[in-house]
Amino acid sequence: MADTVFTPDVVAQIMRHMNDDHADDNVLIVRGLGGQPDTTTAARMSGMDADGMDFVATVDGAEVPVRIPFAERLTERRQVRGEAARMYHEACAVLGVTPRA
C-alpha cells in the first residue's frame, strides 16, 4: 500500500529539518532507540513513512541503516513533531542524558 500521508515532498521537508536543525538529536535517537553503540559519530534521517523514521548512522566509520518505529501509525503530518520529541526524550532516558529544556 502506498503511503498517502507522507508524500515525497513532505518527507524531504521533514528530513531537511531533522538533519539541519536536529543533527545531535538524530545521534541520540539512533544510539538510544536504534541499538547503536557509543561509537556512533553521526546520524542523518534518510526517510520515513507512517510507521517510523529511517536513519543512516556512522558507526566506527561505516554507514549503518537504522529504523526507529513510531509509537503508533501516524495519520497526519502534525503528529511527526510529537513523535520526534518522544523519540528524543526516550533516547535521553535510555542513555542517561538530561534532555534540553
pLDDT tens profile 56-76: 999 999 999 999 999 999 999
Question: Domain containing 65: what range?
Answer: 8-95
Domain count, the chain: 1
Query: What is the model's pLDDT at position 37?
Result: 81
Could you report the per-residue pLDDT of 1-55, keeping only the tens digit for each? Answer: 455 689 999 999 999 999 999 999 999 999 999 998 888 999 999 999 999 999 9
Task: Flag whether 71 is in a domain.
Answer: yes
Note the pTM of the prediction, 2 decimals: 0.91
User: DSSP labels for 24-71?
Assistant: HHHHHHHHHTS---TTEEEEEEEEEETTEEEEEEEETTEEEEEEEE-S
* pLDDT reported for residue 92: 96
The CATH number linked to 18 is 3.20.180.10
Provide the pLDDT for residue 55: 98
The Cα–Cα gap between 69 and 73 comes to: 9
Cα–Cα dist 51/29, whole Å? 16
